Chains A and B, each alone.
Chain A
Amino acid sequence: MSSWINLYNISYAIGEFLMGIVAAILNFFGQWIGPLSDFADWLMSVNVLNLVAILIGGVVVMVFVSIINLFIIMWIERKMYGRIHDRRGIMLPGPWKKTHKGTGFLQNLADGMKLIQKELIVPKNADKWMYDIAPAIIATTSILAFVAIPFSETFYVANINGGLIFILAILAIAPFAVVLAGWSSNNKFTLIGGLRGAALMLSYEIPLILSVIGVILLSGSLNPIEIVQAQQQTSVLGVENWYIIPLFPAVIVFMVALFAELERLPFDLPEAEAELVEGWLTEYSGMRFGLVFVSKWVRTYAGAALITILFLGGWSGPVLPGELWFIIKSYIVFVIIVWATWSFPRSRIDQIVRIGWNWLIPIAIISIVIAAAFKWVGWF
């Protein structure tokens, strides 16, 4: 893994090349118009090139996360729960066979196009401004989480020192938008859904963060890249030091809390479709609904990526490139999440609060103690 082939360097080179063309053209006209040459010099300065490189890198990651990757995970989920249900799932739109054996890979694109064409209905007495802003908050914060999630040592948008805190913080904004949407829609079902979202947040946000503390203790860092690098060292067991081994209770807690965070099925109380129609989403239509719906998958993938980084050794693995290993691992975690989602009934709000406080928090604290003990002994 040579250190110079990273996303930043590649996008710097691309930026330099593109800016060079622009500067050459400007210089050509600069023979007659003086200021253009100065402008070309400014464009070729290091600061501007840095900015361009970061922008290009960001666009690459975002395009990957929000388009290519998103289509793949949506397809995986829809195909997989189709199979769990003993049906074939989506099969018609797609580049390959148009029969029941088809993959239906482009079904989500077709659904998205349908949603874009639909009318955006705003309830008469809704708080228009809050009603509009809530899906935008959810969508932006979901995608923003990927700013700090590295796909490999070299494939990332920003290497933030407190990256883990940033990811957890930005993922925790969405429940606030849920309350906002539930209140502003001016509907009793959405109100109950929004308040359930608030109650849910109280019960899972604490164990989610507590379960991460063990990782922070062992790795001694809040930077996702350094956390993964700490896991790549060989442990007492003679294999790579993935934190899933010492911190197994924390993985369980993190997974369970993640289901609540993602509003997935055992804990999808804010949008329980059978009891509250669609919960806080009831009044949303068209692409507003589409944004929220798609953000759910983006957030699920963010959760799977977080588990991969924190507990599964990130991009470490033999032969294949690191990025590929990261994607393989995170897809496996995603498949586990989908599997659990479609096997369980929905729990009740008092039950999940009780699970959160009676089980998840004590287990998370035990895992912190385990981590501290290992750190003290010096095993991991």
Chain B
Amino acid sequence: MSDMWINMGPQHPMNHGLWNLKVRVDGEIVVESIPVLGYLHRGVEKLCEKRDYNQIIPLMDRLCYVSSLTWSHAYCISAEEMMGLEIPDRAKYLRVIALELQRVASHLMWLAAFAPDLGMFSAYLYSMREREHFLDMLQWLTGARMNQNYPRIGGVRNDMPAGFPDRCIKELDYFEKKLEQYKQLFDDNKLFRMRTEGVGVLSKKDALDLGVTGPALRGSNCPIDMRTHDPYEVYGELDWEVQVGKGGDVFSRYAVRMGEMRESCRIIRDALKKIPDGPVRVKAPLRPTGQGFRRTEDSRGEALIYVVGQGEESPYRLKIRSPIFAIMRALPVMLKGTSIADLLAIMGSVDICIGDTDK
């Protein structure tokens, strides 16, 4: 017997979430891998058919426990598209600020999960420490650290508190300084480069064919970001750049995410500067008819929620497109021929979140 199956999961330090990766290894080399999903299936789509439109927002918050605001926002913007609702400008800016705060917090959570996979436990605590600042800001803005329940169909729940922009900019100054340090800590680390460069290469062709989106796609030298490709809210008016990695390997994906954190800070600064006065919420129809969707850029990739309404209190059908669900299909392609140690680096680099994958 030259090869054997090992179960990496459902309980394994590697999988950040409840899922199973069956791996057939020949010594240390991965010959074949099969992702097994469904351990966290909660039937969210069925639940949504029994709730009314506003009750769905908290459910969407719980899709991804790391990046919950982006998901509730993805639902709200799709529902607005279906209802044909135009929201006030101030609400759009507030949404962008909250989304980018959430994105940085989510990327820091990714860093905190990715670094221990490579054995850098110190970096885990560093990024958790910085994440705390962003969660504090989110808490001040929305009232909660984790499941914010902040966007509403037709705007946002509340305006930002007094003094928020000043403190937010102070935190961003601090974080940008720290981010440069972390980039040095990783980029100048020879062992880190050895572990990540040229590992888990996903070619541009494969990435497009497999439906990979988000930082994983941008790491494969494909500058597709839904915030510029299909600008929603006010991303088109703000000053920032799409991050693209050249190699398609683990290091490119890491570099894209680090760059995105920096760009998110730029977006927040710009949005705080340009935010207009005005109302933050308009009234939404209760029993809309129609269908609609909007592509949004979640922290992990393209989030798309397709909502169909039939003039009832609850949607007739709500379908969630999870970015990690597509990356799960791409994993066997990336993992083939790598070693068990590389498997860790690759899994860490795509930022698995099972909450929205299993729905």
A adjacent to B, CB under 8 Å: yes
| Nearest-Cβ distance from residue A5 to partner chain B, whole angstroms | 45
Binds B, one of A52-60, A93-101, A266-274, A287-295: A266-274
| Nearest-Cβ distance from residue B249 to partner chain A, whole angstroms | 14
Binds A, one of B101-109, B279-287, B340-348: B340-348
Which residue of chain A is the closest to B348 with respect to CB atoms? A274
Which residue of chain A is the closest to B195 with respect to CB atoms? A345
Known: A85-B122, A85-B125, A192-B28. A272 touches B191 (CB 8 A): no
Is there an interface contact between A345 and B118, defined as CB atoms closer than 8 Å? Answer: yes
Known: A87-B125, A272-B341, A350-B339. A188 touches B4 (CB 8 A): yes
Q: Report Cα–Cα, A342/B25, bound state, in Å.
A: 30
Which residue of chain B is the closest to A82 with respect to CB atoms? B125
Known: A85-B121, A274-B344, A275-B14. A349 touches B191 (CB 8 A): no
Which residue of the partner chain, among A188, A266, A274, contacts B117 with CB atoms under 8 Å? A274
| Nearest-Cβ distance from residue A344 to partner chain B, whole angstroms | 5
By CB atoms of chain B within 10 A, which of A189, A268, A344 has the most? A344
Which residue of the partner chain, among B25, B27, B126, contacts A86 with CB atoms under 8 Å? B126
Is there an interface contact between A277 and B118, defined as CB atoms closer than 8 Å? Answer: no
Is there an interface contact between A276 and B118, defined as CB atoms closer than 8 Å? Answer: no
Q: Which residues of B contact A161 (CB under 8 A)?
A: none
Known: A86-B126, A188-B6. A345 touches B192 (CB 8 A): yes
Is there an interface contact between A275 and B125, defined as CB atoms closer than 8 Å? Answer: no
Is there an interface contact between A346 and B341, defined as CB atoms closer than 8 Å? Answer: yes
Is there an interface contact between A344 and B340, defined as CB atoms closer than 8 Å? Answer: no
| Nearest-Cβ distance from residue A194 to partner chain B, whole angstroms | 13
Is there an interface contact between A277 and B13, defined as CB atoms closer than 8 Å? Answer: yes
- Is the C-beta of B162 less than 8 angstroms from some C-beta in chain A? no
- Is the C-beta of A234 less than 8 angstroms from some C-beta in chain B? no
Is there an interface contact between B125 and A266, defined as CB atoms closer than 8 Å? Answer: no
Is there an interface contact between A348 and B4, defined as CB atoms closer than 8 Å? Answer: no
User: Chain A interface mostly helix, strand, loop or mixed?
Assistant: loop
By CB atoms of chain B within 10 A, which of A273, A276, A349 has the most? A276
| Nearest-Cβ distance from residue B207 to partner chain A, whole angstroms | 24
Which residue of chain B is the closest to A191 with respect to CB atoms? B4
Is there an interface contact between B119 and A272, defined as CB atoms closer than 8 Å? Answer: yes
Is there an interface contact between A276 and B189, defined as CB atoms closer than 8 Å? Answer: no
Q: Which residues of A contact B122 (CB under 8 A)?
A: 81, 84-85, 342-343
Those of B91-148 within 8 Å (CB) of chain A: 115-122, 125-126, 129
Q: Report Cα–Cα, A345/B192, bound state, in Å.
A: 6
Those of B160-192 within 8 Å (CB) of chain A: 189, 191-192
- Is the C-beta of A265 less than 8 angstroms from some C-beta in chain B? yes
Those of B326-353 within 8 Å (CB) of chain A: 339-344
| Nearest-Cβ distance from residue A324 to partner chain B, whole angstroms | 32
Is there an interface contact between B195 and A347, defined as CB atoms closer than 8 Å? Answer: yes
Which residue of chain A is the closest to B192 with respect to CB atoms? A345
B16-53 CB mask vs A (1 if < 8 Å, else 0) is 00000000010110000000000000000000000000
| Nearest-Cβ distance from residue B177 to partner chain A, whole angstroms | 15
- Is the C-beta of B157 less than 8 angstroms from some C-beta in chain A? no
Q: Which residues of A contact B189 (CB under 8 A)?
A: 344-345
Q: Which residues of B contact A350 (CB under 8 A)?
A: 339
Q: Report Cα–Cα, A85/B6, bound state, in Å.
A: 33
Q: Report Cα–Cα, A196/B118, bound state, in Å.
A: 17
By CB atoms of chain A within 10 A, which of B14, B126, B339, B340 has the most? B340
Q: Which residues of B contact A276 (CB under 8 A)?
A: 340
- Is the C-beta of A351 less than 8 angstroms from some C-beta in chain B? yes
Q: Which residues of A contact B120 (CB under 8 A)?
A: 344-345
Which residues of B line the A interface, CB within 8 A?
4, 6, 12-14, 25, 27-28, 115-122, 125-126, 129, 189, 191-192, 194-195, 339-344
Query: Given A192-B340, A344-B191, A347-B194, 8 other A-B contacts at CB below 8 A?
Result: A188-B4, A192-B25, A266-B191, A268-B119, A274-B13, A342-B121, A345-B191, A345-B195
Can you spell out 15 A-B residue pairs with CB atoms less than 8 angstroms apart? A266-B191, A272-B341, A274-B344, A275-B14, A275-B117, A342-B122, A345-B115, A345-B120, A345-B189, A346-B118, A346-B341, A347-B191, A347-B194, A348-B194, A348-B342
Which residues of A line the B interface, CB within 8 A?
81, 84-87, 188-189, 192, 195-196, 265-266, 268-269, 272-277, 342-351
